[in-house]
Chains A and B, each alone.
Chain A
Amino acid sequence: MTHPSHGELARVVRDHAGQLAASLVHLVGDFAAAEDLVQDAIEAALTHWPVEGIPERPDAWLYTVARRRGLDVLRRESRYREKLTLAAWPAEPAPDDRLRLIFTCCHPALPRTGQVALTLRVVCGLTTGQIAKAFLIPESTVGQRITRAKRKIRDAGIPYRTPAADELGTRLAEVLAVIYLLFNEGYLSSGGTNARSRDLTDDAEFLAALLHHLMPTEPEVAGLLALIRLHRARAAARFDQDSEIIQLQHQDRSLWDHEVIADAGRLIAVAAACKQPGPYQLQAAIVACHAEAGRWEDTDWTQIAVLYEMLLYLAPSPVTRLHRAIALRYVTGPTAALREVEALADDLNGYHLFHATRAELLRDLGHTDQARAADQRALTLTANPTERSLLRQRLNWT
């Protein structure tokens, strides 16, 4: 018998937790009660599997434990007991069941923090402790968020159901926002000195892939999945041996996973054929422009600037304008780009990337002192260790 690795354990639990939750909600008819049973079963698995090995049918193992706990906990409620006794594995849940699970966890009547915690717990099978570690927050805070979210689902009558066609657009946007937040949280915290035990970008990709599997014709879902994969395909080149961040232009592109990049490109093309452009598809297309360039010098900046223009049209924001300005630096030159950036001063004065971008453009134009001042300002505005070290490097070199 081999002892499963940490990652293997997490993966197997995640592959089955959502299905288990979905079938138990179906069985017990109560979201909160079913969720408790799933958590109990996962805690048991995390105790037993590292010692006894992962069972041949992890799904059946988890289900048996959950069912037994269910019988214990709900002994007094004859109706539940009857249901649980009748139910035998395999009770193959329809794919739709995990979709319902996701939409319930990400209901807009729940606060974002509750949506995130609940999705990780119910759909990905993370324990409260694992979520707390991933976000560097106390376990009690996570516990409270979960409890409150579950209570609201029950008390406010949040239904366990996929949204109707007329509300699918806004509800799906909510789900995608939760997955994107998870991805960003994981992406920004990766590689630095405070390595966290859980790779949230992996959970984000899992969720996006699951959603794409369940809703294969939604172009924005495909867009988000492609976006996440394009970033992850290049993760190996993002940091040097000392965990210092390496900027895109200096990355060793042979370390990128070109197969994943090509796959993501096809995903974007299929989505684009639906002719319903959206922010995630556009962001993915922008990242693809970078990922598909053989060398930094080959980057198609004109295309990138056009894509940012479209993104600004669909989702106007000062941060997107800032990114478009960065692209303009390579299309129309630093003077025009700096003018664009300066115009954002009122909106982005508190944002470190605004000052860092300004610094780069000022340096391009030979205004070294002003550039240093802007970098200093950026440094005071970010706590992220990898970004801080990058800014310090720049201040030391120039």
Chain B
Amino acid sequence: MKYVLMFVDTEQFAADLAAMDNADRERAYARVQQWFADHHDKITHHGHLMPPDTATTLRLDRGEALVTDGPFVEGKEVVSGYAEIEVADLDEALRVAKLWPACPVVEIRPLAS
């Protein structure tokens, strides 16, 4: 089955990352690189999103298309990236996601087949 792991950042996580010195930040990035390397046989594609202040939202259900600045939900937890994985079942997806070394929340959704 295919699942999308949505990586969710929290304000605390962003603050912790910002407070790190360069060496620590390098190490944090290296752990993420390692995670991708460890699971490369299961990851079908992945991406890292620019921060939410770069988002533009378009609403198409109000007559004229409405363009607004920012993400469609304003919240303290924002999706910052995703990885699509192909694994046998939810338990295997959970196993992969549990090893994720960065942001503190991961939402796992099956991809509609």
> Measured between alpha carbons, how far is A107 from B93 in the docked complex, in Å?
14
- Segment at the interface with B among A52-60, A150-158, A232-240, A265-273: A150-158
Contact of B110 among A157, A159, A163 (CB under 8 A): A157
> Shortest Cβ distance from B85 into chain A, in angstroms?
12
> Shortest Cβ distance from A163 into chain B, in angstroms?
7
* Residues 78-99 of chain B, each 1 if its beta carbon lies under 8 Å from chain A, else 0: 0000000000111101110000
Besides A109-B94, A155-B110, 5 other A-B contacts (C-beta < 8 A): A157-B89, A157-B90, A157-B93, A159-B90, A159-B91
Interface residues of A in 111-168 (CB under 8 A from B): 155-159, 161, 163-164, 167
> Shortest Cβ distance from B88 into chain A, in angstroms?
7
Chain A residues, CB < 8 A from B93: 157
Residue of B whose beta carbon sits closest to that of A159: B89
Assess whether B1 is interfacial by the CB under 8 Å rule: yes
Q: 24 A-B pairs, CB-CB below 8 angstroms?
A: A107-B90, A109-B90, A155-B110, A156-B90, A156-B110, A157-B1, A157-B88, A157-B89, A157-B90, A157-B93, A157-B110, A158-B89, A158-B90, A158-B91, A159-B88, A159-B89, A159-B90, A159-B91, A161-B89, A161-B91, A163-B91, A164-B91, A167-B91, A167-B95
Chain A residues, CB < 8 A from B95: 167
> Measured between alpha carbons, how far is A157 from B96 in the docked complex, in Å?
15
> Shortest Cβ distance from B36 into chain A, in angstroms?
22
Chain B residues, CB < 8 A from A109: 90, 94
Chain A residues, CB < 8 A from B90: 107, 109, 156-159
> Shortest Cβ distance from A90 into chain B, in angstroms?
30
Chain B residues, CB < 8 A from A157: 1, 3, 88-90, 93, 110
Chain A residues, CB < 8 A from B94: 109
> Shortest Cβ distance from A110 into chain B, in angstroms?
11
Interface residues of B in 1-42 (CB under 8 A from A): 1, 3
* Residues 98-113 of chain B, each 1 if its beta carbon lies under 8 Å from chain A, else 0: 0000000000001000
> Shortest Cβ distance from B93 into chain A, in angstroms?
7
> Shortest Cβ distance from B84 into chain A, in angstroms?
14
Across the A-B interface, the 3 shortest Cβ-Cβ residue pairs = A159-B89, A157-B1, A157-B89
Chain A residues, CB < 8 A from B88: 157, 159
Chain A residues, CB < 8 A from B89: 157-159, 161
> Shortest Cβ distance from B105 into chain A, in angstroms?
15
> Measured between alpha carbons, how far is A163 from B98 in the docked complex, in Å?
15
Chain A residues, CB < 8 A from B110: 155-157
> Shortest Cβ distance from A150 into chain B, in angstroms?
14
> Shortest Cβ distance from A105 into chain B, in angstroms?
14
Residue of A whose beta carbon sits closest to that of B89: A159
> Measured between alpha carbons, how far is A155 from B89 in the docked complex, in Å?
10
Interface residues of A in 72-127 (CB under 8 A from B): 107, 109
> Shortest Cβ distance from B38 into chain A, in angstroms?
16
Chain B residues, CB < 8 A from A159: 88-91
Q: Which among B89, B90, B93, B94 has the highest number of chain A CB atoms within 10 Å?
A: B90
> Shortest Cβ distance from A158 into chain B, in angstroms?
5
Interface residues of A in 265-291 (CB under 8 A from B): none
> Measured between alpha carbons, how far is A109 from B3 in the docked complex, in Å?
14
Chain A residues, CB < 8 A from B91: 158-159, 161, 163-164, 167
> Measured between alpha carbons, how far is A158 from B94 in the docked complex, in Å?
10
Residue of A whose beta carbon sits closest to that of B113: A155
Interface residues of B in 32-83 (CB under 8 A from A): none
> Measured between alpha carbons, how far is A132 from B93 in the docked complex, in Å?
34
Interface residues of A in 359-377 (CB under 8 A from B): none
Chain B residues, CB < 8 A from A156: 90, 110
> Measured between alpha carbons, how far is A107 from B91 in the docked complex, in Å?
10
Chain B residues, CB < 8 A from A167: 91, 95
Residue of A whose beta carbon sits closest to that of B1: A157
> Measured between alpha carbons, how far is A155 from B91 in the docked complex, in Å?
13
> Shortest Cβ distance from A279 into chain B, in angstroms?
23
